[in-house]
A and B are shown apart, each in its own frame.
Chain A
Amino acid sequence: MSMSVDTPDADRWRPYLLGAGLVLASMTLTGLVLLPIGINPISAYVQILKGAFGSLNAVTEDLVYATPIILTSLSVILAFRCGLWNLGSDGQLYLGAIATVGLGFNRFGLPAPALLPAMAIAAFAAGAVWAALPAVLRLRFGASEVIVTIMMNFLAVTIATYLVGGPWASGITPATAPIVPDGFLPVLIPGTRLNANFLVAIAAAAILSFVLRRTVFGYRLRTIGQNIGAARYAGMPVNRIRFLSFACAGGLAGLAGFGEVAGIYHNLPNGLSPGFGYTGIVVALLARLNPLWAVIVAFALAALNVGSGGMQRAMGIPVSLVSIMEAVLILLVLSTRLLERRA
C-alpha cells in the first residue's frame, strides 16, 4: 500500500477512512436484517467483540484460526505475484496433512527430535508436488490452472476420505488413527491451543516479504507478474521461476495442513478444512498481495469468525447469517475502487 511522497495528507488517509466507512455500512446493513428477527444488532456486535477478544483464550483462538489462513493466503500471494492463480491451496493443505499424518505414525522409527521437522518437510514437499502438476500443465501445455487446481482439490479430498475410512482408520471415529506424541507441535501458551505453527506462519510471511522485496529472485518474480514481456526480453528464465514459485506456494499451503494435524487434531479428521483455501484467496486480495498485510487481514477475518462463534453461542443467531455478514462486507469493499492499483 505505498503512496507517493507528495500525496497530500487527506488523500493518504482516504483509503483507511473509506475502509472504516465500509465496515460501518455493512454493519448497518446486517443490522437491518437482524432487527426484524428480533435481534439487537448492537449487542450482537458487542458479542462478536467479546467472543474475539474477551479473554486470553479467545485471542489465542483467533491466532489458531488465523494460522492456516495466513499460510494459504501466502500461498495465493506467491502464485499471484508471478502471474498464476492458485485456487488449489485447499487441496495442497490436504496433501500436507496426509503427509504429516503418514509420517506421524512413525512407522519408520525416527528418533524423537527428528520427527517433527521431518513431518514439516514432508508436508511442504507434498503440497509442492500437488501444486507442481498444475504448474507443469500450465507452463508446458497452457492448461488453465484455475480448472486444474479446482479439480486437484476434489481429488485431494477424495484421497483423504479414502484414507480416513480405509487404511488409516482409527477404528471408530471418522478420523485417522492418532499420530505419536513425539509428533505433536509444542503449545506456545499452556492451557490454550496456540501451537508453534503460528510462529511458522509468521516466519513464512516475513521470509516471503523479504524474498519478494529484497532478493533477485523476488525481483524477477515481480517483473514476471507485472510485465511478462519485459521479463522474457530481459532473458529471465521465466518458466523455471514460475514453476518454482508455484511449487513453493503449494508447499506453504501444505504447511497449513501440517499445522492443523500436528498442532490441533493430532490426526486427520473428516472435514479438516472448512474452506481455508478460498478464505486465503479473499485475504490475499484484501491484503493487496502484500504478505505482511496478509497476516493482519487474516487475523482480522479470524477474529471475526471466532467472535461470531461466540455471538452464535450467546444469542442463538443461525450460523449462516454470520457468513452472509462477512460476504456482504467484502462485497462492499469490492464495490469501491479501494483495491485497485492506480496506473
Chain B
Amino acid sequence: MEIKNLKRLQTALVVGTVSVLGTTAGWAKDAKVAYIPCGQVNDGSWSEAGYDGVKAAKDALAKSGTNITIDYTENLSPSQAEVAARDYATKGYQTVVLHCGTFANAAYNAGKDFPNTNFLIVVAPKSVKNVWTYIPAMQDISFVAGYLAAKMSKSGAVGVVASFNFSNITWQAEGFRLGARYGNPKIKTYSNYINSFDDAGKAKEAAQAEIDSGADIIYSATDQASRGIYAAAEANGDLAIACYSDQSNLSPKTVLASALANIPLLVENMVSDSVAGKLVADKVYSVGMAGGIGELALNPELAKTIPPEVAKEVQSLMASIKSGQIKIPAFSEPGQSEQYDLNGLKSK
C-alpha cells in the first residue's frame, strides 16, 4: 500500500513540477493567448484586423512547435476590459492582447498585479516591465494614399473623413493630406471628424460635404462607418480609399485602394515574440513602413485606371519611405499638415 502511495506521490510531484514549469511565461510550449478588442472580431475593420494577427501568430508558432489557444472577449468598456485582463491573467494566460486605445489603463494596472503575464496594448504612452505597447505608424501608408489620391484626382481636391480627433487617427488624416500635397502642391485637401466609429450615416454626410466642395477621392479613417463613405462616393461617381483592411470587394466600383496598416502582421509579430519571450524590455514598438507596416492594396478592377507612371511613382515613394529616405511626421492636431514645409520630409 505504502509503495503505491509513494509512487502516486512521485508521479504527482513530477506532473506538478512540469506543469508549473510549463506555465512560466516566456518559454511555454503550450500557451494561452487572450485577445480583447474594442469591438467585435468580425467587424471587418480594426478589431478584426487584430484578430487576424493573433490567428496568424498561432499558425506561425505552430510551425515552430508551439501550440497556442486563443480566447477573446468583445465589446467591453475600458473598465470591464481591466476585469477581463485580470481574469485571464489569473487563469494563467501567457499573453493578453488589449487591442484598443482606451484600454491603456487596464493594461498597466493589470500588468502591475500580474508580473508573470505579458500584456500587449496598442497605442499607449510607454512600455514598462511586462506591458508592451505597439503602435502602427499609419501616417506612412496614409501619406502614400494621399499621394495616390492627388495624382488620380481629376478635380484637384481630395478629402478625408475621420472618426475622432484622437492622436493615432489624426496621424492618418493629416498624413493623407500631407501626402496629397506632396503629390500635387496645388491640391485642396479637406478633413472632417464625425465623432463616431459606427455612425455610417454621419460618415456619408461628411463625405458628401467634401464631395460638394469638389473632392473626388475620399480617404476613410473611420472604422466600420466607412460604409457611409462608399455610399456617398458611389452616389456621386467618385472614388474612395479604405483603411485597415482590403475593402475592394465591399464596393468594387468605388474603392480605389486600401491603405493596409498590416495590423495583422504587427499583432502577429508581437504575439509570436511575446510567447517566445523575445520582446525587448521597455521598448515601444512603433512600427511604420520601414518595419513592414504599411501596404497599398489596389482594387484589381480599378487598378487599370491608374496610369503606369503614377503606379511607378507610388512604388518608388513607398520604397523611399521603407528605406527611411523620407520620414513622415505624425501630426496630432487637425490642420497641421497644411503649414508643414514639404522639404522637411527628406531626412538628411
Contact = CB atoms under 8 A, between A and B. Distances in A.
Interface of A: 51, 55, 57, 61, 64-65, 158, 161, 164-166, 169-175, 191, 193, 260, 264-267, 269-274, 306, 309-310, 312-313, 316, 318-320
A193 B135 CA distance: 28
B77 A164 contact: no
Interface string B54-83: 000000000000000001111111111011
Contact of A173 (B72, B73, B123): B123
Contacts of A191: 113
Contact of A164 (B86, B109, B166): B166
Nearest to A267: B105
A309 B84 contact: yes
Contact of A57 (B86, B101, B123): B86
B104 A173 contact: yes
A270 B122 CA distance: 15
A165 B164 contact: yes
A269 B84 contact: no
A325 to B, nearest CB: 15
19 contacts: A171-B167, A171-B332, A172-B123, A172-B125, A173-B124, A174-B164, A175-B78, A175-B102, A191-B113, A265-B79, A266-B105, A271-B102, A272-B77, A273-B77, A309-B83, A309-B87, A313-B34, A313-B84, A319-B74
B236 to A, nearest CB: 29
B102 A172 contact: no
Contact of B102 (A171, A266, A270): A270
A265 B195 contact: no
A201 B109 CA distance: 24
A262 to B, nearest CB: 13
A57 B87 CA distance: 9
Contacts of B176: none
B83 A173 contact: no
Interface of B: 34, 71-80, 82-84, 86-88, 90, 101-102, 104-105, 109, 113, 123-125, 135, 164-168, 195, 332
A319 B164 contact: no
A199 B313 CA distance: 64
Contacts of A170: 125
A55 B89 CA distance: 14
Contacts of B88: 313
Contacts of A266: 105
B322 to A, nearest CB: 24
A190 to B, nearest CB: 10
Contact of B167 (A61, A64, A169, A273): A169
A165 B77 contact: no
A171 B102 CA distance: 12
B312 to A, nearest CB: 36
A166 B165 contact: yes
Contacts of A55: 90
Contacts of B87: 51, 57, 309-310, 313
Contacts of B101: 172-175, 270
Contacts of B135: 172
Given A266-B105, A309-B80, A172 B124 contact: yes
A174 B78 CA distance: 11
Contacts of A274: 77, 80
Contacts of B78: 175, 265, 269, 271-272
By Cβ-Cβ distance, the 8 closest A-B pairs, closest first, are A165-B165, A274-B77, A174-B166, A174-B101, A173-B104, A269-B102, A172-B167, A319-B75
B74 A264 contact: no
A191 B90 CA distance: 12
B125 A175 contact: no
Contact of B77 (A175, A267, A271, A316): A271
Contact of B105 (A265, A309, A313, A319): A265
B96 to A, nearest CB: 11
Contacts of A65: 79-80
Contacts of B113: 191
A32 to B, nearest CB: 24
A224 to B, nearest CB: 36
Given A172-B101, A173-B125, A271-B102, 16 more contacts: A51-B87, A55-B90, A57-B87, A57-B90, A171-B167, A172-B124, A173-B102, A174-B102, A265-B105, A269-B105, A270-B101, A273-B77, A274-B77, A309-B80, A313-B84, A318-B74
A269 B78 CA distance: 8
A161 B102 contact: no
A211 B18 CA distance: 62
Contacts of B167: 169, 171-173
A245 to B, nearest CB: 29
The residue among A164, A170, A265 with the most chain B CB atoms within 10 A of its own CB is: A265
A175 B105 contact: yes
A312 B86 contact: no
The residue among B88, B101, B102, B113 with the most chain A CB atoms within 10 A of its own CB is: B102
Contacts of A318: 74
The residue among B77, B78, B88, B167 with the most chain A CB atoms within 10 A of its own CB is: B78
Contacts of B80: 65, 274, 309
Nearest to B333: A166
A51 B79 CA distance: 16
Nearest to B41: A318
A163 to B, nearest CB: 11
B103 to A, nearest CB: 9
A306 B332 contact: no
Contact of B125 (A51, A158, A165, A171): A171
Given A271-B102, A312-B73, A316-B71, A260 B79 contact: yes
Nearest to B125: A172
B127 to A, nearest CB: 12
A309 B73 contact: yes
Contacts of B109: 193
A165 B166 contact: yes
B128 to A, nearest CB: 14
Contact of B79 (A166, A174, A264, A312): A264
Contacts of A61: 83
B156 to A, nearest CB: 30
A310 B76 CA distance: 12
Given A61-B83, A271-B78, A161 B195 contact: yes
